[in-house]
Amino acid sequence: MTLDTLRQTGREIQLQANELIVSKTDASGHITYANRVFMKLAGFAEHELLGMPHNLIRHPDMPRGVFRLMWKTLQDGKEFFGVVKNYTKNGDYYWVLANITPDYDHRGQLQGYYSVRRKPSREAVDTVTAIYAEMRAVEARCGKASAPDASVTWLVDTLAARKQNYDDFIHALINASAGARA
Ligand SMILES: Cc1cc2nc3c(=O)[nH]c(=O)nc-3n(C[C@H](O)[C@H](O)[C@H](O)COP(=O)(O)O)c2cc1C
């Protein structure tokens, strides 16, 4: 049994419809700011978050390919939207609809990244749960090094067969989450 398996309670906790989780990182993904909603929901004190890599709350159900797509989008200087499952400190989990943007200083130098997250609809969570399970299955069939690219390719091909790209896909989920009360 892995540490992750030992840690999981299997209990879902929910963001309220009017709550936003905010965090900032430096350019290498280490947390430099966390708002109170983040601390309260994830169960961490501020000093347990500041300076830590953001994968502190990474849930093993999240495919590596989603983060590969996220970092590639950010490194291209664009904002990323995604539906993400996260761990709390005690092993519960929660889903968020995340927007992550590069954060530039007044000279246009990259300072780090900024993320705001809100509650996704149950429909959005159900949609990505099925897709992420398939992405993880693709990753499990590959070597660790090729897994993220392989699952991104699977996602791109699967969406293309539905005449969608990732932007179309995620914007449909964002629309389905507007004012979510699931
Ligand atoms: C601003 C920002 C916010 C992030 N938020 C999360 C998050 O909520 N959950 C998460 O698992 N990873 C988040 N990440 C991505 C992590 O840095 C990391 O890439 C991811 O957890 C995958 O971990 P790994 O690279 O160790 O596989 C965030 C990154 C940035 C820059």
pLDDT in tens, 26-64: 999 999 999 999 999 999 999 999 999 999 999 999 999
Residue linked to tokens 């291209």: 76
| Mean pLDDT, all residues of the chain | 94
46 CA to centre of ligand 1 in angstroms: 17
Residue 90 is given by DSSP the state: T
Measured CA distances, 68 to 48, 96, 103, 173 (Å): 26, 18, 19, 20
What's the angle, vertex CA 89, arms to CA 60 and CA 137, rounded to 5?
Answer: 5
Closest residue by Cα to atom 11, ligand 1, is: 58
Q: Which domains does the chain have, with CATH numbers?
A: 3-177 (3.30.450.20)
Helix (H) or strand (E) holding 157: helix 147-161
Say what percent of the chain tops pLDDT 70: 95
- Three-state SS for 123? helix
| pLDDT at 172 exceeding the cut of 90 | yes
pLDDT of residue 113: 98
What gap in Å lies between CA 38 and CA 46, rounded to an integer? 9
Choice from 67, 74, 76, 85 to test ligand 1 binding pocket (greatest atom count within 8 A of CB): 67
Tell me the per-residue pLDDT of 77-116, one tens digit each, with 9 for 90 and over: 999 999 999 999 999 999 999 999 999 999 999 999 999 9
Indicate whether residue 113 lines ligand 1 (CB < 6 A): yes
Residue linked to tokens 């969570």: 125
- The residues near 170 (Cβ < 8 Å, ≥ 6 apart) are 81, 82, 83
pLDDT of residue 180: 58
